[in-house]
Amino acid sequence: MVFLLTLIAAAALVGLTGLHLYWAGGGQWGVRYVVPEVDGKPLFRPQAVTTLAVAALLFWGAAILIDVASSGFLIRRYPLVVLLTLWVYGLAFAVRALAGWFLVAVLGKGRKTVFGYYELRIYGPICLLLGVVFLLLALVLTP
């Protein structure tokens, strides 16, 4: 079961990496759904370099998950780097999921926006799944 969840999480991260590379290259599909709004205006405008940085971080996470699920080359050679990545990514995704849910569902911030709609139905659950997978692997692999 953990193996299957790890592969699903890795596939999600690879897909998200591709989407961020598309946006960094100037693609516009889906942009209006992923940036929070205040009074109908985007809260921020992501720059290409920051979007590329996010893509690189997502790709690194996918690479770690794929390595852990398959050969284990990285964890054998660089156990501290892999474990640190698992813990940091796990906590980051879990906090992101809970914070987004708290802001939109509990406090009602942006509940009636396009972003709020997708936050509760897609972004938050994906982040929660990713957080659980990373933290589960971190717990299992930490000596």
pLDDT surpasses 90 at 36: no
pLDDT surpasses 90 at 60: yes
Spatial CA neighbour of 89 closest among 115, 69, 63, 116: 63
In this structure, are residues 85 and 61 in contact, taking their beta carbons and an 8 Å threshold? yes
pLDDT at residue number 109: 78
pLDDT surpasses 90 at 90: yes
Task: Identify the residue with better confidence: 42 or 140.
Answer: 140
pLDDT surpasses 90 at 105: no
What confidence tens digit (pLDDT) does each residue in 12-34 have?
A: 999 999 999 999 999 999 888 99
pLDDT at residue number 40: 79
pLDDT surpasses 90 at 1: no
pLDDT at residue number 66: 96
pLDDT at residue number 104: 85
CA distances from 74 to 51, 63, 66, 87, 138 (A): 26, 9, 10, 15, 14
CA 32 to chain centre: 18
